[in-house]
Structure 1
Amino acid sequence: MKQICIIVPVYNEELSIDTFFNTFLKFNEALVNKGYSASVLFVDDGSKDKTPTILNHLITEHTNCKALIFSRNFGKEAALFAGLEHAEGDLMIPMDVDLQDPFELIFEMLTAYEKGADVVLARRANRETDTVVKRFSAQWFYRLNNKMSTLKLEENVGDFRLMTRKVVNEIVSLQENQLFMKGLMSWVGFETTVVNYSRPGRTEGKTKFNYIKLWNLAVQGITSFSTLPLKVWTYFGSFIAFISFLYGLKIIIEKLFFGINASGYASLMVAILFFGGVQLIGIGVLGEYLGRTYLESKRRPRYIIKHKIDKKHE
């Protein structure tokens, strides 16, 4: 019987955990008939509410449930990586605790796996449950990333996917500290297929992702797998230098042969502000890459586990 480990990062999810785990128990009963068994590995990302207490209570009653408790909040990307590092079994499936990743879809994933897929992606057929701003930003992130990076991300695919043990082993062997898990999980490759689904609304609690966090994640995703933003300023600077050379040549010719009128204050200020703004943007892009290089060079751990909750080791 093959073992499935469901990896669930949580942060202040005291309202959602019991509902999620009760749904998992029903799913696991149906799963046994297909020759699989499943367990849940919760990764508590430094919750401030009763989440660790609830997890401890669940694990004392169920052997197919474990948890990692972080010393503080390290972010979902670190929590997901920790889950992959500590997961046991043949197949790993990251899921959200809010039940927007439906358990029923796992049966389709297993069918695709049995046909030879090493990775089965769950792609949202639509984003009707998202706000207009989130739909628009998600659409443009995927388009921009896939234009700028050699690593192409499947559109409307999150962390919800099935991966075999050999895929996960390659992911956790990667050394980088600044994590963009969608990119890392795609970068390793392997035989990949896609199943589509309609994502339901959140059942309990509220999302912990705001637009600032999503923006930072998008920037990290692009800078982690593409150097095009750096190269753009080389080309743009060369173009401006060429235009400036032509304009300078024009001024010299006018001065020598036709005389020259004094340029207006407005046009001078526009040119100064434009080039000043362009330079600051270029420095900002350079700073993003330099800052990530600086953080990588420190080689700090991606996360710190305060303790593990596992009934077998009590």
Structure 2
Amino acid sequence: MTQYQSRFDTSLKKQHFLPKYWPTWFLIGLLFIFSYLPIKWRDRFAAFIADKIYNAKFLTKRKQIAFTNLGLCFPEYSQAEKDALMRENLRSVAQILLSLGEIAFRSRRFLIQRINFIGEHYIKEAEAQGKSIIFLAPHCYGLDFAGAAAISARGYPLSSMFNDYRNPIFDWFVTGYRTRFTKLAGKGTLYHRSEGLKPAIKSLRDKAHFYYLPDEDHGRENSIFCDFYASKKATLPVIGRLAKLGRAVVIPTYTSYNAATSKIDVICHAPLENFPNGDEQHQTELMNRAIEKVIDENRAQYMWTLKLLKTRPEEGLDIYKR
């Protein structure tokens, strides 16, 4: 067995119970309480709060980033359309945040029932063929539900990477619920992004699938420019290598909170066909087309507030400067 064990330490220490961390523990306590409240009531409360704070000053910067991204990706959108999308976006953020405690505190059976898993048969087909899977998952607010509550909780082996928070209590809490069901499959791990792709490849070769977030901007030196909707995006050209070295198929995956049904829709599209093929530019363009297709399942739940387009083809241009 070649399973990789992360070197990153997220265990609790005595100093993590000092008074400066008490607010964090209080927030985790609130998540515990919210995880047991009636879901319909909680969703209405979250939407009410989101509508009340939409025009709050502390959200101005994030909304400006989002409107910049939306303007570049969808130049046909009017200001009213962008505003409506971001209002829905904030409601989804609030509803998902108040649901996060479920992953840590509720039963496996409860979590499985919370998920509307669309396209799970693609996972079963890949496993029946002896294939590992790269879940190509762009940044959406419900991504933890996909990894932990949909994939791991059903016994599929899964590895992923993460960046640590500045708060070690959040590190402990988040990494704990993300790896909560790893023992069901007996393999899979969570490792720090600074450790690179080597552990991902080892995990894939050991038939532990990999949850890959491909859409962050990692700068000019590490990226190539590919189309992303109507804009150009600096994109890591690693998906082809990862699939080839990991002997894996690539399944585009998206998560969307459905307030109408009070369930989380985890949507798997068909694996990329005949992949990898062509050069890195072609492979990365194919990846971005797949990312666009899953985002289109519900554009309002994508993380438009990230500086997705920070690195521009024109050097020295800062599109987010205000």
Larger Rg: 1
Same fold (TM over 0.5): no
TM-score normalised by the chain length of structure 2: 0.29
